[in-house]
Amino acid sequence: MLRGWLPLLLIGCSASKPNDPPEPPRERDVLIEAPDNVVVIFRDGDGDWQLAPHIDNRLGFDIESEFYAVAFVDASRGTVDAVYATLDEERDFKIVAPAAQPPTQPVTGLVTGIDTQLTFGAIVNVGRRRAIVGLDTQMFALDVPEGPHTVGVIKYNNSFLLASALAVRRDVLIAAPLDLAIDLDAEGLPTTKTSIDGPTATCSYTSTIQVGDISLGLGTTTDTKAIVPDPEHWKAQDLFTLELRCRPRNDAYLIQTYQVGSPSELPQRIDAGSTAGSATFDPAEQRFTWSAFDAPVVRGIVAGAPCRSDDLVGFPDQACAQQWRARMTAGWTASTGLEELAVITRAELEGVGAWDDALVLPAPLTWTFEGRVESANTVLRNIRADVLP
C-alpha cells in the first residue's frame, strides 16, 4: 500500500518468490485494475509513454526492458501518480475507488474539566471529525458517519498545544443522534514527558498515537522529549509514533519516524541520519536531479505540491496534497543507475490523449525528492525541497 495516495487506493503487488506455488498463465507481464475515470499509461524502459490496452475487464502490457514505468492519471483529483519499477519487484496494481460514505448522525456534547481561559482547552475527536472547545464554548457538535468509532479528547494546560491529559472511549456505535458528556477530571488520564537522548539544533519531536480510527496529535517539543499517553491507553492494536524533524537548511530537512506498540519500545536515544546530498528541479528542462545519500536509498519519491516548503514541513497533510508524485523502487534505481527523473510533461500526456486542464499545478509550487530507508519500526526520510514562484 502506498501511503498518502488518497482518496484512491493504489496497491502494488510484488512478483512471486521462488518457493511460491506456480501461478496460472498471465495474460500480460503487468496487469492493472482501475476505475474507468483513471487513465493508465506506461513506458517500456526508456520508450515513449503509451496508453495501457484493455485485457478483458483489466488493463495490461508486456515489457521487454529490465525496467518500466506506469502512471495513473486522474483528472477528477488533478493528480498524476507514477511508479518506476522492475517486474521482479512489482507487476500487479489495483486502484480501488473509495467506498460510498454512510449517512451521518449529529454527535453533540459538553466537555468539562478544561481550562476555559485557553482558546484550545481541548480537541474532541470522533472518528475523523474534530472540534475545539475552550475559551469560546465547552459545547461541540459534529456530523459523524454512522458506525463504530473511537472518541478521543485531548486536554491542554497551556497555549503551546502540548497534551496534558487524554480521554478515550472505544467502539462507540453511532446509529442515531448522540449526546456525550465528557468530564476530563474524571476520564482524562495524564500524559508524561519522556526524555530522549537526541539532537536539538533545528530539530523538533512530534508525538502521535493512533487509537482505533482516530489519530491523536499530542504535541511537538524542541526539548528532546516525547509526550507519552498513560499506559492505560495503550492497547495491542494501537500505534504510537515519534517523529524527529530537523531542518538544517531552508531547502533540506530530515524526518525520522519511530512507530512502537508499547511504552517499553520507545527509543531512549536517537541519532539523526545524514542530511548530505542535494536535489534540484530545473523548470526549463522539467527534470529533477539528486545526488546519492550516505545511507542507501531503499526507495525514492519525487513529488510536486501546490504549497510552500514551510507548509510542507509543518502541516503536510492539511496544506500540501501532492498532485504529481513518482515512486522509484530500489530495483529501478539499480537497473538504470540514474539520479534524475523527468516530469511527465503536458505534451506527453496530450500525445496519448490523457491531458486535462485540471492537471495544472498551481503556484506556489514545491518540488521535493525523498530518499527513504526503512528498517524494523523506523523510517528515515531525507527530503530536499525546491520551491518555484
Q: For the segment 236-248, what is each residue's pLDDT rounded down to a tens digit? A: 888 898 888 887 6
Instruction: Calculate mean pLDDT across residues 368-385.
Output: 64
Element (H, E) at 129: strand 129-133
| Cβ-contact 387, 311 below 8 angstroms | no
Range from 37-51, 190-204, 275-289 carrying the lowest mean pLDDT: 275-289
Query: Does the structure show a pLDDT above 70 at 297?
Result: no
Residue 218 is predicted with a pLDDT of: 93
Rounded to a whole number, what is the distance in angstroms from the first to the last CA of the chain? 33
CB atoms within 10 A of CB 247: 20
Q: What is the CATH number of domain 104-190?
A: 2.60.40.4130
Residue 374 is predicted with a pLDDT of: 64
pLDDT in tens, 13-52: 555 555 655 666 788 999 999 999 999 999 999 999 999 9
For residue 99, give every residue at least 6 positions away whose Cβ sits within 8 Å of its Cβ, in sequence order, or none. Answer: none
Distance CA 31, CA 299 (A): 22
Q: Phi and psi at residue 313, in whole multiples of 5°? A: -75, -40
CB atoms within 10 A of CB 35: 12
Residue 316 is predicted with a pLDDT of: 44
Give the CB-side neighbour count of residue 278, counting CA atoms within 13 A. Answer: 4
Burial of 380 (0-12, 13-18, 19+ CB in 10 A): buried
- Give CA separation, 219 vs 14, 82, 119, 156, 336, in Å: 37, 34, 16, 10, 42
Beta bridge partners of 140: 109
CB atoms within 10 A of CB 302: 25
The per-residue pLDDT of the chain, averaged, comes to 81
Residue 326 is predicted with a pLDDT of: 87
104-112: strand order across its sheet: 139-145, 104-112, 178-183
| Cβ-contact 143, 106 below 8 angstroms | yes
Question: C-alpha 375: how far from its chain's center?
Answer: 18
Query: Does the structure show a pLDDT above 90 at 173?
Result: yes
| Highest-scoring range by mean pLDDT, 114-123, 153-162, 319-328, 347-356 | 347-356
Residue with cell 507548509: 311
Return the SS3 of 265. Answer: helix
In the structure grid, which three cell numbers stand for residue 29, read together? 507481464
| Cβ-contact 220, 158 below 8 angstroms | no
> Hey, CA dihedral for 237, 215, 253, 363, is it positive or negative?
positive
Element (H, E) at 266: none
Name the residue type at position 167.
A
- Among 19, 22, 2, CA closest to 10: 2
Give the CB-side neighbour count of residue 311, counting CA atoms within 13 A. Answer: 15
| Cβ-contact 114, 134 below 8 angstroms | yes
Range from 76-80, 269-273, 325-329 carrying the lowest mean pLDDT: 269-273
Query: Does the structure show a pLDDT above 90 at 234?
Result: no
Instruction: Calculate mean pLDDT across residues 271-276.
Output: 61
| Highest-scoring range by mean pLDDT, 267-281, 291-305, 323-337 | 323-337
Pinpoint the alpha helices (H) of the chain.
184-187, 309-314, 316-319, 330-336, 346-351
Q: Predicted confidence band at 282 (pLDDT cuts at 50, 70, 90)?
A: confident
CB atoms within 10 A of CB 86: 21
Residue with cell 485540471: 358
pLDDT in tens, 46-96: 999 999 999 988 999 999 999 999 999 999 988 899 999 999 999 999 998
Distance CA 87, CA 219 (A): 42
Distance CA 163, CA 146 (A): 28
| Cβ-contact 85, 103 below 8 angstroms | no
pLDDT in tens, 336-364: 888 788 888 889 999 999 999 988 877 77
In the structure grid, which three cell numbers stand for residue 99, read together? 467506498
Residue 289 is predicted with a pLDDT of: 74
Domain boundaries, the chain: 9-96, 104-190, 192-265
Residue 244 is predicted with a pLDDT of: 85
Residue 361 is predicted with a pLDDT of: 78
| DSSP string over 166-203 | EEEEEEEEESS-EEEEEEHHHHPEEPEEEE-B---TTE
Residue 193 is predicted with a pLDDT of: 92
